[in-house]
Amino acid sequence: MAIGASRGQSMRRFASRKSTTAFLLCLPLILLVGCFVVYPAFYAIYLSMLNKKMTAFVGLGNFAFLLKRHTFQLVIFQSCLFAITAVVLKAFFGFILAHLMHNIPGTTQKIWRGLLLVPWVIPLALSTLTWWWMFDPSYSAFNWVLNQFGLDNVPWLGVGWIARLCTITVNVWFGTPFFMIMYLAALKSVPEQLYEAASIDGANARQKLFFVTLPMMRNIISITVLFSLIVTFADFDIVRILTSGGPQDQTHVFATYAFQIGIQSGDIPLGAADSLFMFPILAFAAFFVLRGVTQRTKEIAA
């Protein structure tokens, strides 16, 4: 009995040593995420409820203040417009590109893929500088082209709506390759036999697309779209470099507006409150991404 008991203990010790090692290997990750993601997230909530000098607690005052402000209403509008339009366009062009790529033989595919991925490879902050230069009010290379066709100069970044379209254009240019890669991978994962079976069942190209390709890709499409929605919604680089929010704060998104009021104007609590407005939408998208990924994992396991 005594021997049995001590053996049981040592076995437990053996098992617990393994899980201690396992925990220790994860510890740096836990510390990193804990200190610089989880803690700041809670701290942001606390910060957002202080006054500008961070001396008094104002509850939800900052949130109420922001919501009443016209500029902030524009920020909400522009953020949603920017994210939704850009994601839809990226998904659309990405889908077309993936299909085109899927049509051509594998040997040349790599070269085409390499060329199409260029926008995505250049750091966004740098490529946006080029776009800014191409949209330059006096030297715009686009305007030169328009002039050649006898058209007038366009004030690219000078007028609200046009500037909005410009930010979206840059984002679509940058993000489409990502969608293309994801969709191409999804397309390749559809077994050829399914198409053959569909052909024998008499499906035409469009029916194959709707009854074979899309259902098989559904999960990846939704994961990619939601993921991109998060990234696009929280985008900072493009708007900051291209317009800095202008003209007249008409192109500000949450991130750039938070930067302006929080860092540049020094109202940290208000900036924190502004950033936190992103949270519900991000959490919503993140929930569905996670669900999609879990589902996908199960599908692949099965």
Partner 1 sequence: MSATTAEGRKFRKTSLHSQRLWALWGSYAALAVFVVIFLVPPFYTVITSLKSSAEISAQSGSPWMVNHPTLENFWYLITYPNFQTYYLNSAMITVVTVAVSMTISVMAAFSLSRMGFWGSQTLSTGVFLTYLVPPSLLFIPLFQIVGWMGLINNIWCLALLYPTLAVPFCTWIMIGYFSSIPKELDEAALIDGASYVQILLKIFIPVAMPGIIAATIFAFTVAWGAFLYPLAYLYTSNQMVLTVGIISDLIRGDVFQWGKIMAACLLASLPPIVIYAFLMDYYVAGLTAGATKG
Partner 2 sequence: MAEVSCRKVVKEYDGGVQAVKGIDLEIADHEFVVLVGPSGCGKSTTLRMIAGLEEITGGEIWIGGDVVNDVPPRDRDIAMVFQNYALYPHMSVFDNMAFGLKLRKFPKDEIKRRVDEAARILDIGVLLDRKPRALSGGQRQRVAMGRAIVRNPKVFLFDEPLSNLDAKLRVQMRTEIKKVHQTVKTTTVYVTHDQIEAMTLADRVVVMNHGIIEQVGTPAEVYHHPTSRFVAGFIGSPAMNFLPCHIDEAGGGGLMVRVNDAIKIKIPAERTARYTPFKGKEMVFGIRPEHLTQRKEEGRPGFEPVDMLVDVVEPMGMETMVHFFVDGAPVCARLDPATIAEPEKMLGLTADMNQMHIMEKETGKVV
Length of the chain: 302
Q: Could you say whether residue 7 binds partner 2 (CB under 8 A)?
A: yes
Query: Site for partner 2 (CB under 8 A): which residue of 1, 5, 14, 138?
Result: 14
Total residues binding partner 2 (CB under 8 A) = 5
15 binds partner 2, rule: CB under 8 A: yes
In sequence order, the 6+-apart residues with CB closer than 8 A to the CB of 200 are none
To partner 2, the closest distance from the beta carbon of 191 in angstroms equals 23
A 10 A CB-CB count for 62 gives 23
Q: How far is the CB of 3 from partner 1 (least distance, A)?
A: 26
Question: CB of 232 within 8 A of CB of 87?
Answer: yes
106 binding partner (options partner 1, partner 2, none; Cβ < 5 to 8 Å by kind): none
Q: How far apart are the first and last CA of the chain?
A: 45
For position 188 contacting partner 2 by CB under 8 A, the verdict is no
Task: List the single partner that 203 binds among partner 1, partner 2, none, CB under 5 to 8 Å by kind.
Answer: none
Residue 101 contacts which entry, partner 1, partner 2, none (Cβ below 5-8 A, type-dependent) = partner 1
Decide: helix, strand or coil at residue 73: helix
**Are 87 and 176 within 8 A, CB to CB?**
no
* Shorter beta-carbon distance to partner 1: residue 165 or 286: 286
Minimal CA–CA distance to 120: which of 162, 69, 163, 180? 180
- Minimum separation from the CB atom of position 10 to partner 2 (A): 5
Say how many C-beta atoms besides its own lie within 10 A of residue 216's C-beta: 17
Least Å from the CB of residue 234 to partner 1: 3
Buried b (16+ CB within 10 A) or exposed e, 17-31: eeeeeeeeeeeeeee
Minimum CB distance to partner 2, residue 7 (Å):
6
Partner whose footprint covers residue 74, from partner 1, partner 2, none (CB < 5 to 8 Å by kind): none
Return the one option of partner 2, partner 1, none that residue 14 interacts with (CB less than 5 to 8 A, by type).
partner 2
DSSP assigned state of 267: -
Closest CB to partner 1 among residues 163, 269:
269
Among residues 11, 31, 141, 290, the one that binds partner 2 under rule CB under 8 A: 11
Q: Smallest distance, Å, CB 8 to partner 2?
A: 10
**Residue whose C-alpha is closest to residue 238's, from 154, 139, 172, 141:** 172
Contact 258, 275 (CB under 8 A): yes
Q: Which does 36 bind (CB under 5 to 8 A by kind): partner 2, partner 1, none?
A: partner 1
The minimum distance between CB 20 and partner 2, in angstroms, equals 15
The one-character DSSP state at 152 is P
What is the Cα–Cα distance from 301 to 288, expressed in whole angstroms?
Answer: 20
| Amino acid, res. 194 | L
Which of partner 1, partner 2, none does residue 204 bind (CB under 5 to 8 Å by kind)? partner 1
Q: How many CB atoms lie within 10 A of CB 38?
A: 12
Among 10, 21, 130, 147, interactor with partner 2 by CB under 8 A: 10
Contact set with partner 2 (CB under 8 A)? 7, 10-11, 14-15
